[in-house]
Amino acid sequence: MIEGRTGSWETVVGLEVHAQVISKAKLFSGAATDFGAAPNTQVSPIDAAFPGMLPVINRFCVEQAVKTGLGLDAEIKLASVFDRKHYFYPDLPAGYQISQYQQPVVGRGRVVLDMPDGSTREIGITRLHLEQDAGKSLHDQHPTQTYVDLNRAGVALMEIVSEPDLRSAEEAGVYLRKLRSILRYLGTCDGNMEEGSLRCDCNVSVRRPGEPYGTRCEIKNLNSVRFVMQAIDYEARRQIQILEDGGTIEQETRLFDSNHGITRPMRSKEEAHDYRYFPDPDLLPLVLDPKWVARLHAELPELPDAKKARFVADFGLSPDDAEVLVAEREAALFFERVAQGRDAKAAANWVMGDLFGALNRLGVGIEASPASAEQLGALIDLIADGTISGRLAKEVFAEMVASGADPAAIIETKGLRQVTDEGAIAAAVDQVLAAQAEKVVEYRAGRERLYGFFVGQVMRATQGKANPALVNELLKKKLSG
């Protein structure tokens, strides 16, 4: 809810997400899809729309779209149709994009959002369809000419359209992160927004609570969650200001200027395209075998919601911790390997605390973690069996991150094994109490806060290796004696 001059306004947002399908080949040709290749090196005559060339659907891309639909709890359409969407632009070689207009491969579905306040929100998915990406126009290579790179032309995209169910920029951000997480779990889109694998158009309108939808504006081609949120926020406030000043909202397409954090009109109505959609006569309707769809359904990996529920139920984690751990599939799998057969809460604390902290400092993802899940698990085991104290374990972990070595080897090399020899610890305690005779007197006179000081001195004398429980036991005995 946004408070305007004249009262409260509700923001209404629907998102159209363009997610690049993970596939080695393009949607209708065998050309490669690697990111960052030299311009025009991944282009077949089909992608370049040479005369007489014909598209043939890539079965794997269809499989990816169907898996995504299943992951969004959506209806899979056993018959769908590819249409041609026409407009002239140099990076659209055929003069049309092959897309799905009236009969998409995936129908209604839903995404459940976990809001920061602990509530959940269900967001409707209107549809998901397959389409080709266009190429790239490079306007900055030559003073008067535009260069065209067709490497991306024909790459498979899934357009995932949400219902106008989102009510704030924040919700849109949560939705986008959740969708990205689901896609990555499914392995159908890498979600890499910097490389353009995930792009987003936002439909934004505002209304008084309880009133019908207002006129919407579409903000095109946003490539980060932050920009999506900024653009929605700006756009909602812009519309509120117009309405509060007695104006009306023009339905239009706008672009987000990330340098200034504002949106501006992209094209007027006169320039609006008539896309002249019609079914592509080069392609037969896409007909799916229900058994094949059922098999894909059965083979679907565990998705974040289910994993989170399981982490809470089976591992006794708090919903907040579980949420953090399942956000990235690799992190969740890493955690599960660490937690396997161990104290899950300890595993969660190590993964979310020390490990995530270290990865952050290194600026790498969990897949590049210098310490493996098995090594972290071994460290936890060494704490549990008393080989090292929790305090020393932090030191061992730092070394694991620095060198990638096994914790046992580090403990051995550095001589960090915990001292559990009662005689040795008693000697250290005696030595400390003798050296600090004055403080012992003060303690016995009632300054009990000095107890921690004695513990510290004993640990220092044993280079931190003394078993803390034994230290406590002996210290208390000797101080009271």
Partner 1 sequence: MKDGSLLALSLAEARDGLRRRSFSARELALAHNEAVEEIEPLNAYITPTPERALEMAEAADQRLARGEALPLDGIPIAVKDLYCTKGVLTTTASHILDGFSPPYESMVTEKLWHSGAVMLGKTNLDEFAMGSSNITSYYGPVENPWRRPGDNRPLVPGGSSGGSAAAVAARAALAATGTDTGGSIRQPASFCGIVGLKPTYGRCSRWGVVAYASSLDHPGPMTRTVRDAAIVLRVIAGHDLRDSTSAPVPVPDFEAALTGDIRGLRVGIPKEYRVDGMPAEIEALWQQGAQWLRAAGAEPVEISLPMTKYALPTYYIIAPAEASSNLARYDGVRFGLRVEGNSLEEMYELTRAAGFGREVRRRVLIGTYVLSAGYYDAYYLKAQRVRTLITRDFATAFEKVDCILAPTAPSAAFAIGEKTEGPIAMYLNDVFTVPANLAGVPAISVPAGLSADGLPLGLQIMGRAFDEGTVLRVGGVLESAAQFRHLPGFLAGGRL
**Interface positions with partner 1 (CB under 8 A):** 45, 48-57, 84, 86, 88, 90, 93-96, 146, 148, 274, 276-278, 281-284
The minimum distance between CB 100 and partner 1, in angstroms, equals 15
The minimum distance between CB 81 and partner 1, in angstroms, equals 12
Strand-strand pairing, 156-162 and 120-132: antiparallel
Residue 24 or 226 with smaller CB distance to partner 1? 24
Residue 148 or 182 with smaller CB distance to partner 1? 148
The minimum distance between CB 298 and partner 1, in angstroms, equals 29
The minimum distance between CB 154 and partner 1, in angstroms, equals 13
Q: What are the backbone angles phi and psi of residue 396, rounded to the nearest 5°?
A: -60, -40
Residue 149 or 305 with smaller CB distance to partner 1? 149
**Largest CA-CA distance found in the chain, in angstroms, rounded:** 100
The minimum distance between CB 337 and partner 1, in angstroms, equals 43
Residue 282 or 412 with smaller CB distance to partner 1? 282
Residue 283 or 408 with smaller CB distance to partner 1? 283
What 3-state DSSP class applies to 99?
strand
Residue 45 or 265 with smaller CB distance to partner 1? 45
The minimum distance between CB 269 and partner 1, in angstroms, equals 13
Count of all residues that appear for the chain in the document = 481
What 3-state DSSP class applies to 201?
strand
In whole angstroms, give the CA distance from residue 173 to residue 182: 14
The minimum distance between CB 236 and partner 1, in angstroms, equals 30
* Run of H or E including 161: strand 156-162
CA 430 → CA 121, 417, 442, distances in Å? 62, 22, 17
Burial 23-40 (b: 16+ CB within 10 A, else e): bebbbbbebbbeeeeeee
* Run of H or E including 273: none
Evaluate whether 188 touches 19 at the Cβ level (below 8 Å): yes
Residue 63 or 170 with smaller CB distance to partner 1? 63
What is the separation of C-alpha 191 from the centre of its chain, rounded to a whole number of angstroms? 8
Residue 27 or 236 with smaller CB distance to partner 1? 27
The answer for 237, left when phi > 0, alpha when psi is -120 to 50, beta otherwise, is alpha
Residue 8 or 102 with smaller CB distance to partner 1? 102
In whole angstroms, give the CA distance from residue 1 to residue 264: 23
Residue 323 class from Cβ within 10 Å (0-12 exposed, 13-18 middle, 19+ buried)? middle
In whole angstroms, give the CA distance from residue 421 to residue 50: 82
The minimum distance between CB 61 and partner 1, in angstroms, equals 14
Q: What are the backbone angles phi and psi of residue 315, rounded to the nearest 5°?
A: -105, -5
Residue 146 or 403 with smaller CB distance to partner 1? 146
Matching residue, tokens 């080069």: 282
Q: Of 125, 129, 103, 127, which is closest to residue 27 (Cα–Cα)?
A: 129
CA 371 → CA 194, 252, 350, 354, distances in Å? 27, 51, 12, 11
The minimum distance between CB 50 and partner 1, in angstroms, equals 7
Residue 90 or 319 with smaller CB distance to partner 1? 90
| Contacts with 241 (C-beta within 8 Å, 6 or more apart), sequence order | 4
Which three-class secondary structure string do you get for 298-355? HCCCCCHHHHHHHHHHHHCCCHHHHHHHHCCHHHHHHHHHHHCCCCHHHHHHHHHHHH
The minimum distance between CB 59 and partner 1, in angstroms, equals 12
The minimum distance between CB 205 and partner 1, in angstroms, equals 23
The minimum distance between CB 135 and partner 1, in angstroms, equals 10
Residue 45 or 316 with smaller CB distance to partner 1? 45
